[in-house]
Amino acid sequence: MRSLLWLLPLTLSLTACTPRRGGGGGGGSDDDDSAANDDDAANDDDAADDDDDMANDDDAANDDDAADDDDSLPDLPPTDDGSLLGRSWALDLASGTFVNPPGIGPLLTGDLGSSIELLSFDSQTSFSASAQPGLFVRAALADPDSSWPQQDPCAVTLDLWAGADGVSGTGDDNPGQWSNPWMEIGPADLSLSASGLGAAIQDLTITGAFSPWGDQITDVTFAGRIDTRSIDVGDDPEGTCDLIEEFTGAQCVECGAPDPGVYCLEMLAVDLVAEEVGEPLEPRDCADVLNYWDQVGDCGDEVEAWDSNGDGTFEGCPSW
């Protein structure tokens, strides 16, 4: 039975990559392409024709070409043409740093191993400034048995815009915000089920920045409060909090409704990175997983969670 610790730093916000500036430049009469007169003390780094001057570089008289500036920033992702739709990104949980609680990283990475989460935009997403909040982000666990990150057929997809009721398409939906190239998702309260376990994340917020071509999401952060009773550490919820406090000094806090108790943990992970891997995620609910189980015979741990009576009726999956 796989742990749900993959959910701890979940989710997808955006930063543009700035190209490295060239060292030195061409003077008023000297071009950087001239071996004789480049980077000398007298005739370099002036305002007129220097590679380090963003406004006046690559002029027709003294530099490479009239149109392009070596130091000009690349185009950012378009904000309204849907260029990020139809794609997915794999978030490597081991790529970030858990800063809160301090020192929890070794505990989590030991359990997370090579866990990877997949993220994609639902087709109703809009990047237009006038349509914000307009981000509808879907997440899913990657198949641990695949050599390339792809959607786990035994895991349901998670609509991160779903509100407190955990169901998308209702009145409490909470789409994310887009401010090119950044995205911010949440805060939201989610009740989740995957890998045969349940998990509750409160006030989940995910931010990150897309690269200019959309092939990477950098500076991804995860902030939220997770119910430690959903962590596969043991059967004693107080013992889980005691273990975390022993290793990190962090204390569990009150979870509040709908399942109160001093079992929740404030968490923050930063500097996560997600790489583009392919097609968008296919929406999958519990019925889809049960159909796959019925046809292939896999996903035993997952479907067991929906059949608490053990009679094969799977009352935990109303759509089955």
Q: What is the pLDDT of residue 113?
A: 40
Q: Which of 9-18, 58-67, 151-160 has the lowest mean pLDDT?
A: 9-18
- What would the mean pLDDT of 67-83 be, rounded to a whole number? 54
pLDDT at 215: 92
More confident residue, 105 or 109: 105
**Could you tell me what percentage of the chain is helix, strand and coil, using 3-state DSSP and rounding each to the nearest 5?**
15, 25, 60
Distance CA 197, CA 306 (A): 10
Q: What is the mean pLDDT of residues 174-194?
A: 80
Whether 186 shows a pLDDT value over 80: the answer reads yes
Angle, alpha carbons 12-252-256 (nearest 5°): 80
304 compared with 116, residue with greater pLDDT: 304
Q: Which of 58-72, 164-178, 262-276 has the highest mean pLDDT?
A: 262-276
In angstroms, the CA 267 to CA 38 distance is 52
Residue 266 pLDDT > 60, yes or no? Answer: yes
Give percent of the chain with pLDDT exceeding 70: 64
| CA 214 to centroid of chain Cα atoms | 13
CB 119 within 8 A of CB 14: no
pLDDT over 80 (residue 131)? yes
Judged against a pLDDT cut of 80, whether residue 180 lies above it is answered with: yes
The chain-wide mean pLDDT, for the chain, equals 73
- Of 22-31, 134-143, 156-165, 212-221, the one with minimum mean pLDDT is 22-31
What is the predicted pLDDT for the residue at 130? 93
pLDDT at 193: 46
Q: How far apart are CA 215 and CA 30, in angstroms?
A: 38
Identify the bridge partners of residue 159 per DSSP, sorted by sequence position: 138
The structure tokens 């993220």 sit at 119
How far apart are alpha carbons 199 and 285 in whole angstroms? Answer: 16
Asked whether the predicted pLDDT for residue 22 surpasses 50, the reply is no
Confidence of residue 133 (pLDDT cuts 50, 70, 90): very high
The answer to whether the beta carbons of residues 159 and 193 sit under 8 Å apart is no
pLDDT above 60: residue 73: no
Q: Which pLDDT score is estimated for 234?
A: 56
Question: Model-level pTM?
Answer: 0.69
What are the CA-CA distances from residue 214 to residues 9, 86, 219, 221 (Å)? 21, 12, 14, 17
